[in-house]
Structure 1
Amino acid sequence: MEWERDEKEAGRRGVTIHGWEIDSSNRPILASRALQQWEEKLETCHLPEMIFGDSSLTLKHIDSGIKFYFSAFDALVGWKDLALPPVEVPAAQKWKLRSKPAQQLILDYDYTFTTPYCGSQTVEVNHEDQITTARSLHWEDCQDQIDVISLSSREPILFYDEIILYEDELGDNGVSLLTVKVRVMPSGWFLLLRFWLRVDGALIRLRDTRMHCVFGENKESTVLRESCWREATFQALSSRGYPVNSEAYNDPSTSCPRLPIIMQKTQKLTIPSIFSHNNGIRSKGKYRKTGE
């Protein structure tokens, strides 16, 4: 398999394969000026401690113009619109009283930055050398499931990256973390968008979005998107015989089986065969072979 490597700016890597351009960017935390701009756009003065606002993941199907992308800003738009009430913690007074005790400022926003975000999407159409965008993609609810067995096979990993979108340590009382991982194999690509929340002594929340595309040859290609939300209070975990010490829930993957599902659905998007014919492959940026 032949690779072409294109040098890009630091932190940006990617691969082109079977008509898909996959591009990842790992950039530093937002500077103060950019952070102020985000506060103005989102109309809030409350944002996560660490926002990697210029980091992103993009997957574009070249011929159809279908593009999936993942960004911290869009995720925080989802957080702002959702507007969940703040989670009560055992030491509630420490959360309710902010930096100026005399003003008795009460937490009236979701400090966990929980988001319903499952990714962004556009369709870019090149018409007479002008690119126009539309946001309408027809996802169908379905009973299909991502083939976990095929994903666990010993298939070569052609490209892999993990991007942190934002993170907050909740005043040393837990963690709020949004990441996206992508893996590209000869047979297709797979990604995991994960929101992980642990509020010590109070709540654990896990929201996963998985997307899988199998490269088609002279046939339609299908992208499956599975969303699964899980959560439980520490009190509920204790009643089921699970430990309640925070150290037992440092890893979302091992914590996942202990958390009951509160929402789960699968959707699919079909890309017509007219768009699924380019089987060339190029690498952009530094190539590395690794796993998830």
Structure 2
Amino acid sequence: MDEQERGRELKAAGAELLPEGRSGLCIRGWFIEAKNKPILNSPSLQDWEKRLGTSHMPEMVFGDSSLELVHIGSGIKIHFNAFEALHNWKQESLPPVEVPAAAKWKFRSKPVQQVILDYDYTFTTPYCGSEVIEPRGETNSKVKEPKADSLELQWVDSDDRIDLAALSSKEPILFYDEVILYEDELADNGISLLTVKVRVMPNCWFLLLRFWLRVDGVLMRLRDCRMYCPFGFEDPSGIPLVLHEICWREGTFQDLAARGFPSDSAAYSDPNHVSHRLPILMQKTQKLHSFQV
């Protein structure tokens, strides 16, 4: 698409890109910005370890990268970052995935010692992003001040569903970006990856937060959070309609082989091609709800 055509589509949708050097746009009462920054340096990693109360971190932590979506009228901010995801990992504290060598598997080594894995080295997180109503005066300079109502937010179970037909329509994509929050290649024994992707169309925005784990020859784990907001739907307090669908899948290579699927790790490099083969552990749809405090 050339710049003129892109400009026409943005104008028709009432959207405006952020200034040069920034990735995002303003559209239909939403301010959306993605930030892709370098990995944290050693001093920053040490600071994070202290704040998180751990001596273990993924190989690559993109600590200054983030995705932020702010609803201008209500002041609601939905955001995604690595620190909160790792905080959730620390809180969940899953046992380490057992591998053929079990407790003696020591793929991480330090100069003078090898480390027995007694923690969740996969950095699996239940993180689904964070949502707040920003206090007056703390919103971005392009965002108007939110209403002064004292509201809290929570996700409540809902029978509503994400409109897959709207997402598969041929609406132009006005904005798209992918943000990597952290990644670890498990010392060439697989991959642990947390990313968030967002796309914005004239009538809605949609994002996918995905944790993808493959421990070669042992286990695959997929934790998806899809979030969807159709423009123009707000409750009486001005809160926009936002749905999220959480789906956790998990399966062992042994179980996949027993069902006739390949047992070679190379066959599972793309989680998009894997998800339908993994059993669902948990699935739910919720709607963002506000209440007075």
TM-score (norm 1): 0.85
Letter in 1 for 2:230: V
**Larger deviation: 97-106 or 183-192?**
97-106
Letter in 1 for 2:71: H
SS of 1:125's equivalent in the other structure is coil
Question: 1:138 is matched with which residue: 148, 154, 165?
Answer: 154
Give the corresponding residue for 1:43: 53
1:74-114 superposed Cα distances (whole Å, 9 cap, x missing partner): 00000000100111112446634753698674211000000
Give the corresponding residue for 1:109: 119
SS of 2:56's equivalent in the other structure is coil
Give the corresponding residue for 2:142: none
> 1:127 Cα shift?
6.8
Give the corresponding residue for 2:87: 77
Give the corresponding residue for 1:245: 264
Question: 1:205 is matched with which residue: 199, 211, 221?
Answer: 221
Higher normalized contact order (CA 8 Å, seq sep 6+, divided by chain length): 1
Give the corresponding residue for 1:280: none
Contact 2:103–2:117, Cα closer than 8 Å, also in 1: no
Give the corresponding residue for 1:286: none
Letter in 2 for 1:246: S
Distance 1:71 1:104, change over 3 A: closer
Q: Give the whole-Å Cα distance in 2 for the aligned partners of 1:135 and 1:169.
A: 42
RMSD: 2.7
SS of 1:253's equivalent in the other structure is helix
Unaligned runs of 5+ in 2: 1-9, 140-144
Query: Once the two structures are aligned, what percentage of the paired residues are identical?
Result: 62
Distance 1:189 1:6, change over 3 A: closer
> 1:63 Cα shift?
1.3
Matched positions, count: 270
Give the corresponding residue for 1:7: 19
Distance 1:173 1:107, change over 3 A: same
SS of 1:136's equivalent in the other structure is strand
Distance 1:103 1:184, change over 3 A: closer
Trace 1:163-178 onto structure 2 (pairs within 5 A). Answer: 163-178=179-194
SS of 2:262's equivalent in the other structure is coil
TM-score (norm 2): 0.84
1:143-176 superposed Cα distances (whole Å, 9 cap, x missing partner): 2211112101110001100000000000100000
Contact 2:214–2:220, Cα closer than 8 Å, also in 1: yes
> 1:20 Cα shift?
0.5
